């Protein structure tokens, strides 16, 4: 049995091969918490059976047997706490032994190939953007790096189709985050990247969209570069570009929108108020693209209108005018991730109601 997370895991992950777990849990943790009934998704849902099958190497043999059972048999085989934090800690506990083993294998391999381990290991970390999920939209360099990786840490919004490109000998590890459930904290992800790079691995951090657009890639670069680990960034198509292209919305257009601005609608600690909406964001001649803004949308729309953006400004999440957007999104029952594009250019989309008439008027104006 393992020590509680916040006592054990704050030790550097590079020490996993040296530290032995204690026995402070009163009950054994016996299996993964997976759900074979998760609805079909192009992405990796946090407790989907497919996720655990993909990451099978990091769980012990007993849990692999459990993964082959149907949901009723699996429920009868073990009991797992239902709260999200206990599930997360349970998952980490199950993974630690195999993570230690992989670190040992990589270190041994490097020592045999190159003698004594240098102070800053030869492994590289690649921050790879996988775009909106279509593997045909990956860069050639991204595909090459994905196929040659030793270990890939992937997010929820990396599509199954992209993950199918991973080489047969590579190891995959899910580090995805959803509202209310982070399989790994950002600090834990930093330690994983650092420890395996120092052990000589070619580590790939797979992110949806672009790593440096609301992807926390800058934080990971900063953490890794401090001890001298080389980090290379391979850009991807960010959601703003991918979705606007799919909908036929030009983010800038001569005479309609002279600039585009990317905003986060995310609120700290799950609140309903946008983290930051500046007065100058409400510019009718600019296009606003809001990432992670679904939960804060009602407040966001009110603030933009208050600061001068016309209530009838066209918006795409569902196609609507700004003043009606919150109600229409609620009716459509949209869920995260949802991108919101706000501005007159939305009316240029061929999918916008009466688009040909409004587009003609906009361009003539």
- Point out the residues that are catalytic: 155, 177, 292
Distance CA 339, CA 266 (A): 12
Strands 177-178 and 181-182, by their bridges, are antiparallel
User: Which tokens in the block code for residue 190?
Assistant: 């930093």
Q: What is the 3-state secondary structure (H, E, C) of the chain?
A: CCCCHHHHCCCCHHHCCCCCCCCCCCCCCCCCCCECCCCCCCCCCCCEHHHHHHCHHHCCHHHHHHHCCCHHHHHHHCCCCCCHHHHHHHHHHHHHHHHHHHHHHHHHHHHHHHCCCCCCCCCCEEEEECECCCHHHCCHHHHHHHHHCCEEEECCCCCHHHHCCCCCCCEEEECCEECCEECCCHHHHHHHHHHHHHCCCCEEEEECECCCCCCCHHHHHHHHHCCCCCEEEECCCCHHHHHHHHHCCCCCECCCECEEEEEECCCHHHCCCCCCCCHHHCCCCEEEEEECCCCCHHHHHHHHHHCCCCCCCEEECCCEEHHHHHHHHHHHCCCCCCCEEECHHHHHCCCCCCHHHHHHHHHHC
User: Which tokens in the block code for residue 125?
Assistant: 């970390």
Distance CA 69, CA 31 (A): 12
Strands 125-129 and 151-154, by their bridges, are unpaired
């Amino acid at each position: 049995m393992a020590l509680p997370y916040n006592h054990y895991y704050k030790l550097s992950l590079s020490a996993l091969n040296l530290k032995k777990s204690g026995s402070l849990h009163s009950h054994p943790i016996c299996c993964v918490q997976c759900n074979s009934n998760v609805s079909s998704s192009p992405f990796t849902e946090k407790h989907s059976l497919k996720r655990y099958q993909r990451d099978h190497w990091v769980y012990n043999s007993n849990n692999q047997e459990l993964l082959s059972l149907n949901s009723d048999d699996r429920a009868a085989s073990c009991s797992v706490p239902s709260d999200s934090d206990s599930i997360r800690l349970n998952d980490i506990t199950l993974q630690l032994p195999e993570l230690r083993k992989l670190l040992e294998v990589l270190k041994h391999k490097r020592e045999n190939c190159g003698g004594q381990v240098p102070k800053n290991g030869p492994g590289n970390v690649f921050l790879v953007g996988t775009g909106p999920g279509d593997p045909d939209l990956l860069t050639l360099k991204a595909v090459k790096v994905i196929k040659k990786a030793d270990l890939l840490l992937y997010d929820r919004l990396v599509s199954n189709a992209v993950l199918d490109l991973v080489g047969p000998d590579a190891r995959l590890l899910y580090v995805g985050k959803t509202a209310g459930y982070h399989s790994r904290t950002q600090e834990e992800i930093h330690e994983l990247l650092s420890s395996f790079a120092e052990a000589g691995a070619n580590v790939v951090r797979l992110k949806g969209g672009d790593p440096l657009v609301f992807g926390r890639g800058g934080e990971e670069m900063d953490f890794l570069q401090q001890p001298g680990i080389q980090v290379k960034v391979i850009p991807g198509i960010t959601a703003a570009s991918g979705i606007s292209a799919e909908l036929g919305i030009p983010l800038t257009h001569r005479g309609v929108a002279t600039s585009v601005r990317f905003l986060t609608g995310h609120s700290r600690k799950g609140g309903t108020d946008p983290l930051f909406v500046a007065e100058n964001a409400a510019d009718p001649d600019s296009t606003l693209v809001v990432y992670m803004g679904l939960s804060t949308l009602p407040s966001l729309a009110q603030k933009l209108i208050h600061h001068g953006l016309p209530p009838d400004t066209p918006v795409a999440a569902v196609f609507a005018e700004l003043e009606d957007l919150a109600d229409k999104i609620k009716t459509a029952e949209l869920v995260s991730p949802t991108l919101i594009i706000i501005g007159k250019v939305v009316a240029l989309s061929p999918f916008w109601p009466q688009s040909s008439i409004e587009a003609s008027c906009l361009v003539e104006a």
